[in-house]
Structure 1
Amino acid sequence: MEGKEEDVKLGANKYRETQPIGTAAQSQDDSKDYKEPPPAPLIEPGELTSWSFYRAGIAEFVATFLFLYITVLTVMGVFKDPTKCTTVGIQGIAWAFGGMIFALVYCTAGISGGHINPAVTFGLFLARKLSLPRALFYMVMQTLGAICGAGVVKGFYGDRYDQLGGGANSVNPGYTKGDGLGAEIVGTFVLVYTVFSATDAKRNARDSHVPILAPLPIGFAVFLVHLATIPITGTGINPARSLGAAIIFNKERSWDHHWIFWVGPFIGAALAALYHQVVIRAIPFKSK
């Protein structure tokens, strides 16, 4: 128990701005009285000396690695069969993405917040749920994890990896760049809006009689967005996922539209943060 107490003392629960996605909606206060938490500081020097800070980054790396490993393998398995009859099909790809997000958010929520996506991290940063150093650290670790995950899949498939497209995102024939950008903006808005709603501590305090497991609606949102936008862009809504696959695939078509898979998700995340904080929560209009 001493080790656990020391870990807490070093910062496992000290920096509340980490906003665990899977657990933040669960109040520890039996009275269920809600008090608006203060915004996270822009820079918190104490974080950089805390083991929990680096442990959270490692958790983001491993989670994004596993996310790319499972999902890109699923994509490869579907694409290698031209009939799609012996594979899980497009619906299976959507389930792989949504199911992995559900599982990984559940596993890492109490450690890093379970972001597994730079767009989610960006949205929570704009809402002042975490500090700038933590946000940047998460994004770097998420990107590295995605690159490693896609690299392992390529190791399995060898030359066939390039032939099957490597799971890289691009705007599909029949759609314009504007179509792809719009799909990424709206898709990421759905995801990040769901994250904010599922982890809203005030909502839990108000509706404490309604049980909620936050990773479930988040994973389901990812599943639904993939169903809708796989035909348009292959569905990015996660810049780390798109960059990891693009770097390992490294063909011209994976880079032609790559900017869409950063600009779209970041705009969508910003709009979701603005909508939740200003419209839904009306935080700027609350009296001090």
Structure 2
Amino acid sequence: MKREILTLAFARAVSVEFIATLIFVFIGLGSALKWPSALPSILQISLAFGLAIGTMVQAFGHISGAHINPAVTIAFFVGNQISFLRTLFYVVAQLVGAIAGAGILYGVTPANTRGNLAINALNNNTSPGQALVVEMILTFQLAICIFASTDNRRSGGVGSPALSIGLSVALGHLIGIYFTGCSMNPARSFGPAVVMRRFSPAHWV
């Protein structure tokens, strides 16, 4: 296990998780900014998050697996697909990448447009318990999609993992935005919260 982290392939994989998460968060959060001339629609935000994750999976999947999500990385660890050390390094890279992506977006966005940088927040009529159930279901369907579309044991073609994973993320946002702003990804929630220094009592959801 210790030898694993000393290889060039491991360093490349961790670096890719950082870069991919940075780009994903930058694009995803950027699509949700409230420009004075044009407010974003739920469809626009959903497509942006879905297309961003699909593009990153297509570009970097062969290097690191393109998890881009601590929840996905932990799911792979629980499924005995990756080692504990790889899990640890991936999660740290993803969280730091999310902070970097949110920070860059903050720096290039006009002050009157930043708002709260698309921080996740519960709907006024949604309780933390309800939000937790919604996020669990949406994240579960994403994890199932990822495992199913990358399972080498399946006979016949499984199509494009990048496309199916991107659609799964977009699907989750089409529903989840109404409840929580839709996270499905701890890094996506963590990055802007750190940059804006706003951690709501329901951030744990």
TM-score, structure 1 length as denominator?
0.69
Which residue in 2 is equivalent to 1:266?
Answer: none
1:220 alignment partner, one of 167, 179, 190: 167
Q: Say if 1:189 and 1:213 are closer, same or farther in 2 by CA, change over 3 A.
A: same
For 2:25, the aligned partner's letter is L
Give the conservation status (yes or no) of the 8 Å contact 2:120–2:183. Answer: yes
Identity %: 36
1:81 Cα offset (Å): 3.8
Distance 2:74 2:112 in 1: 35
Which whole-Å deviations, capped at 9, do the CAs of 1:67-89 have from their partners, x for residues lacking one?
1111111111xx2348xxx4551
Distance 2:74 2:158 in 1: 28
Which residue in 1 is equivalent to 2:10?
Answer: 53
Which residue in 2 is equivalent to 1:284?
Answer: none
After TM superposition, the structure 1 = structure 2 runs for residues 5-16 of structure 1, keeping only pairs within 5 Å, are none
Distance 1:211 1:231 in 2: 31
2:92 is the alignment partner of 1:140: yes
Distance 1:161 1:140 in 2: 29
Distance 2:106 2:72 in 1: 27
2:190 is the alignment partner of 1:243: yes
1:168 alignment partner, one of 119, 123, 127: 119
1:201 alignment partner, one of 149, 152, 170: 152
Q: Provide the aligned C-alpha RMSD in A.
A: 1.4
Which whole-Å deviations, capped at 9, do the CAs of 1:225-276 have from their partners, x for residues lacking one?
000110110000100110001111223xx4221111xxxxxxxxxxxxxxxx
Distance 2:204 2:97 in 1: 20
SS in 2 for 1:201: coil
Distance 1:138 1:202 in 2: 25
Give the conservation status (yes or no) of the 8 Å contact 2:36–2:113. Answer: no
Which residue in 2 is equivalent to 1:113?
Answer: 65
SS in 2 for 1:171: coil
Which residue in 1 is equivalent to 2:201?
Answer: 256
After TM superposition, the structure 1 = structure 2 runs for residues 33-112 of structure 1, keeping only pairs within 5 Å, are 44-76=1-33, 79-81=34-36, 86-112=38-64
Give the conservation status (yes or no) of the 8 Å contact 2:32–2:40. Answer: no
For 2:184, the aligned partner's letter is I
Distance 1:98 1:240 in 2: 15
- Structure 1: state its 5+ residue gaps: 1-43, 261-288
- Structure 2: state its 5+ residue gaps: none
Give the conservation status (yes or no) of the 8 Å contact 1:150–1:244. Answer: yes
SS in 2 for 1:62: helix
TM-score, structure 2 length as denominator?
0.95
2:132 is the alignment partner of 1:181: yes
For 2:190, the aligned partner's letter is L
Give the conservation status (yes or no) of the 8 Å contact 1:154–1:161. Answer: no
Distance 1:144 1:174 in 2: 32
SS in 1 for 2:32: helix
For 1:151, the aligned partner's letter is G
SS in 2 for 1:255: coil
For 2:148, the aligned partner's letter is S
Which whole-Å deviations, capped at 9, do the CAs of 1:4-40 have from their partners, x for residues lacking one?
xxxxxxxxxxxxxxxxxxxxxxxxxxxxxxxxxxxxx
SS in 2 for 1:45: coil
1:140 Cα offset (Å): 0.2
Give the conservation status (yes or no) of the 8 Å contact 2:21–2:68. Answer: yes
Distance 1:202 1:186 in 2: 25
State which structure, 1 or 2, has the greater radius of gyration over its C-alpha atoms.
Answer: 1
Distance 1:144 1:211 in 2: 32
